């Protein structure tokens, strides 16, 4: 029994997306490209929001937070997966697996809160425009973000503390390309009833309630939009809300797809492929959705890129060193 105790366990084996050797070079070429696109797109959103004073509003403050969380979220899984593919290895240490579970839970939870708060922001802006600056003041926005981080930190910590009491066999195989909490619980040798109860409660808190908040906000927003007399105001509101709804649909739709593929097919490969959607595809597409559908973000990105190009093409050596400073002064 000592060999099964988690204190003796040094590593897990991640089976990955596919065991076919001929697919490994394809995966190693595809996923770094997706990772770089995600990093670049979300960094551009953060730089555009911070450098353009017109975007210093609660909506774009929460958008930049969402971009930061997406960068952290994808960085939790992809680098380790690429290292394993390159080294033809499947191992991840016990501590590394717990660390991955912790940050995945935290950043997945953090993805929920900005989307929910952005829906509330649109609700206040469209349904109570006269009180918008009073309600959505900087202090409240900061408190909402801090509260979101605190809640997800606490929930993730509870999961990790409960996981540390579980026992695993040496060389335990996880049928996934990262340490997903539900998959890790399936391969545990101990009783996981308490862990699963806490997982369902956390899913309700971090998933069901935010979705209910978003639905309630839009149930109030849509009638208000229909009553708008200004065509320009209606178009701008539809553009902003449309971008937000696309991101919400993508995030929760892919998350639901992972759950259904896991519950219906019981195929680890189907579940892993579905997980690619919400861990990699969703963070990659979010910047494109906001930049292509939102005139303000497109304008800020255009100014940012043109200023950067001007600095690089026409600047002297000293100006190149101060290029970041010149971007901040936009």
As a whole number of angstroms, the distance between CA 98 and CA 95 comes to 5
Q: What is the predicted pLDDT for the residue at 329?
A: 54
Q: Are 60 and 108 in contact (CB under 8 A)?
A: no
Q: What is the predicted pLDDT for the residue at 262?
A: 59
Pick the closest to residue 180 from 159, 155, 197 (CA basis). Answer: 159
Q: What is the predicted pLDDT for the residue at 216?
A: 92
Q: What is the predicted pLDDT for the residue at 120?
A: 92
pTM for this prediction? 0.84
Q: Are 79 and 61 in contact (CB under 8 A)?
A: no
76: tokens are 């939790």
What would the pLDDT profile of 43-85 be if each residue is shown by its tens digit?
A: 989 988 888 888 888 988 998 999 999 999 999 988 888 888 7
Q: Which fold has domain 10-294?
A: Rhopdopsin 7-helix transmembrane proteins (1.20.1070)
Q: What is the predicted pLDDT for the residue at 3?
A: 40
175 exposure class (CB count in 10 Å sphere: 0-12, 13-18, 19+): middle
Residue bearing tokens 């004073």? 53
A 10 A CB-CB count for 226 gives 8
As a whole number of angstroms, the distance between CA 13 and CA 175 comes to 8
Q: What is the predicted pLDDT for the residue at 20?
A: 55
As a whole number of angstroms, the distance between CA 175 and CA 290 comes to 34
pLDDT along the chain (330 residues), means of 10: 47 72 72 90 90 85 92 90 80 89 90 89 90 91 92 92 86 82 86 90 84 90 83 76 84 72 58 75 85 74 76 55 53
- Which residue ranges make up each domain of the chain? 10-294
Pick the closest to residue 297 from 51, 66, 111 (CA basis). Answer: 51
């Amino acid at each position: 029994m000592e060999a099964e105790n988690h204190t003796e366990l040094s590593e897990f084996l991640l089976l990955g997306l596919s065991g076919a050797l001929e697919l490994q070079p394809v995966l190693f070429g595809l996923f770094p490209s997706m990772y770089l696109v995600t990093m670049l797109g979300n960094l551009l959103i953060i730089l555009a929001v911070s450098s353009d004073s017109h975007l210093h509003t609660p909506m774009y403050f929460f958008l930049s937070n969402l971009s930061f969380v997406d960068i952290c979220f994808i960085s939790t899984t992809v680098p380790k997966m690429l290292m394993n593919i390159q080294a033809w290895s499947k191992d991840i240490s016990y501590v590394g697996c717990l660390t991955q579970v912790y940050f995945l839970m935290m950043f997945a939870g953090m993805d929920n809160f900005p989307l929910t708060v952005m829906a509330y922001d649109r609700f206040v802006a469209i349904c109570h425009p006269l009180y918008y600056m009073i309600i959505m003041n900087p202090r409240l926005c900061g408190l909402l973000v801090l509260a979101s981080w605190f809640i997800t930190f606490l929930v993730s910590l509870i999961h990790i503390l409960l996981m540390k009491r579980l026992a695993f066999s040496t060389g335990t195989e996880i049928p996934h390309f990262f340490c997903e909490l539900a998959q890790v619980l399936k391969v545990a040798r101990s009783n996981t009833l308490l862990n699963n109860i806490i997982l369902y409660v956390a899913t309700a808190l971090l998933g069901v309630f935010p979705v209910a908040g978003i639905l309630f906000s839009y149930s109030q927003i849509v009638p208000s939009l229909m009553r708008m007399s200004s065509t320009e105001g209606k178009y701008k509101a539809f553009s902003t809300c449309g971008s937000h709804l696309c991101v919400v649909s993508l995030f929760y739709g892919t998350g639901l797809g992972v759950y259904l593929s896991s519950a219906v097919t019981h195929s680890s490969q189907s579940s892993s492929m579905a997980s690619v959607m919400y861990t990699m595809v969703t963070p990659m597409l979010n910047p494109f959705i906001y930049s292509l559908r939102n005139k303000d973000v497109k304008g800020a990105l255009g100014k940012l890129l043109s200023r950067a190009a001007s600095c690089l093409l026409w600047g002297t050596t000293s100006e190149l060193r101060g290029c970041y400073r010149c971007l901040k002064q936009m």
